[in-house]
Amino acid sequence: MNYTYTIILVFIFLFTLIIPLKSQTIFFHESFNDENFNARGWYDLRPFILDTTDFVGNSGSSARFTFKQGATTPLAGGRVLITPSDEVYLSYQVKYSTNWVGSQKPYHPHEFNFTTNEDDKWVGPAYTHLTTYIEHNSGKPILAIQDGDNVDENNIGIDLRSISENRAVAGCNGSSDEYPAGDCYLNGAKHWNGKQWKASKKYFSDSIGPYYKNDWHFIEAYFKLNSIQNGKSIPDGIIRYWYDGELIIDAPNAALRTGVFPDMKFNQFLVLPYIGDGSPVEQTMWVDELTVASSRPETRVEENKNDYTKMEIFPNPIDETTVVRFYLNERSHVTLKIYDVLGNEVSVLYSGMMDKGENKLLMNTYLLVSGVYYLKSFINNNTISKLFVK
């Protein structure tokens, strides 16, 4: 695919270096481009329905999840085992039908989950030693946890943080971090729980605009287990959610486990959409380009003392006014390339000589599909990377 770009040279004087914070290990990627799901590791599978009329990227199809009116599931979903890890990152593209209303209740629909090696591969996600949730309710994104199988039934409503590690962290036994304790409720003879972190406003909107639910949006979520020291839980876990590159839920210092589970690791990803009371209308969700990894690809900026350059992309997420800015100490050969999140080269933005001084490039990237990309510059054997969102 060819991309057309307009390049304009102007000036800025900055000396910084973009350096990767950490490497990202990709555990699993699904483009929903064919029906060979079992071969890619899916199990407990209700085959995904492929939609060739609405998709992102070059795969040619997306997964379509349609709830019939009154149905609790869309009759599609599955699970994947991943390399055990104390941190997990999920990214995916998603859009919703124009009539999407979710559950019309203050809970559900469930969409995506992670569970851990403390439960078996067939565990029901609602009652475990730890389940995480990525979803939204009434258009507000939500990250949540449950650990009902850890509840101390003899101490319901008692804050056990300073008393015992034999407790739940998501409700029923007090709060194990700086956030509210979570919900606690009876389900049969046992107590279940749930703890949520919500976005501050509605991001999946009924109105056409940047948050329109019937447009494709790039969603990212990250969970990191808290530490265990000397047999005790340290509330230093991390819970985060990004909407089209914007960090909208940020919960550091979270507790996701106690000292009873020092060997806990995330090891399973689930796509099991669910509306417990039944869908109020027939409605559809589309998902594409799904990635499960160890962490979000990140970079940091360091002061540079060796004549490297700072590269800036503004505004970001990009639009028709976005520019790339950098400084050259001397006339140099510059190559700018765009890569996707899997490291595949998408396009060469520019390659040629540029004069000493400050430079600015106006990016016309209208042919790029929605998603996360990296712009990499190659200047005098130095490489600088910058993440941007379309």
- Per residue in 34-88, pLDDT (tens digit) is 999 999 999 999 999 999 999 987 779 999 999 999 999 999 999 999 999 999 9
Q: What is the pLDDT of residue 318?
A: 83
> In a 10 Å sphere around its CB, with 0-12 CB exposed, 13-18 middle and 19+ buried, how is residue 309 labelled?
buried
Identity of residue 140 = K
**For 83-108, what is the mean pLDDT?**
98
Q: In the predicted model, is pLDDT for residue 14 greater than 80?
A: no
Q: How distant, in Å, are the alpha carbons of 34, 250, 337, 362 from that of 299?
A: 34, 18, 17, 22
Q: What is the pTM of this model?
A: 0.77
Fold of the 311-389 domain: Immunoglobulin-like (2.60.40)
Digit-coded pLDDT (tens) for 299-338 = 443 333 334 456 788 888 787 788 888 778 777 888 888 8
Q: What does the pLDDT read at residue 309? A: 54
The CATH architecture of the domain made up of 26-293 is: Sandwich (2.60)
Mean pLDDT on 130-158: 99
Q: Which residue has the higher pLDDT, 217 or 359?
A: 217
37, amino acid identity = F
Q: Where in the chain is the domain with CATH 2.60.120.200?
A: 26-293
Question: What separation in angstroms does the CA of 226 have from each of 169, 236, 258?
Answer: 11, 5, 8
